[in-house]
Structure 1
Amino acid sequence: MNAPIVIHRPSATGGRRVTNRGQILGLAQGDGDVLEFLRRAGLPDAEDLPDETSWVQWRGGRAHRYEAA
């Protein structure tokens, strides 16, 4: 099963696109942005989700890194 939340690879200008089931939640510049996007999407316990592989898949690059690719 694929995780519903995807944090995509860092963009050429920095930041990572965050999607939930294919819907764009925003461009995160750091973990705080990711948490805010997840809260706004109504996900419970958002602060625990970024490292929960059943919920979140980090694509390209290291998790929790947002520097330009």
Structure 2
Amino acid sequence: VLVSRYVRPRLTTVRYPIVTMATQAAELALALADNRPLPEITNVFSPTLVRRHSVSTPSLEASHHATSD
């Protein structure tokens, strides 16, 4: 999710190989449209965890402000 880059704290997200997924989906759709036999494939798409500040420990300055209020 693109917006997760710009909010504070920066949000941890999961990145999927969308281009690869879309390419394979398009190839399958074109094969179906042309009445070609579909290949016997098993797809395993590996997502990547994008760690940002929403999973990190708070900084000392932030924890000081939280306890001094």
Normalised to the residue count of structure 1, the TM-score between the two structures is: 0.22
Normalised to the residue count of structure 2, the TM-score between the two structures is: 0.22
Q: Which has the higher strand share?
A: 1
Larger Rg over CA atoms: 2
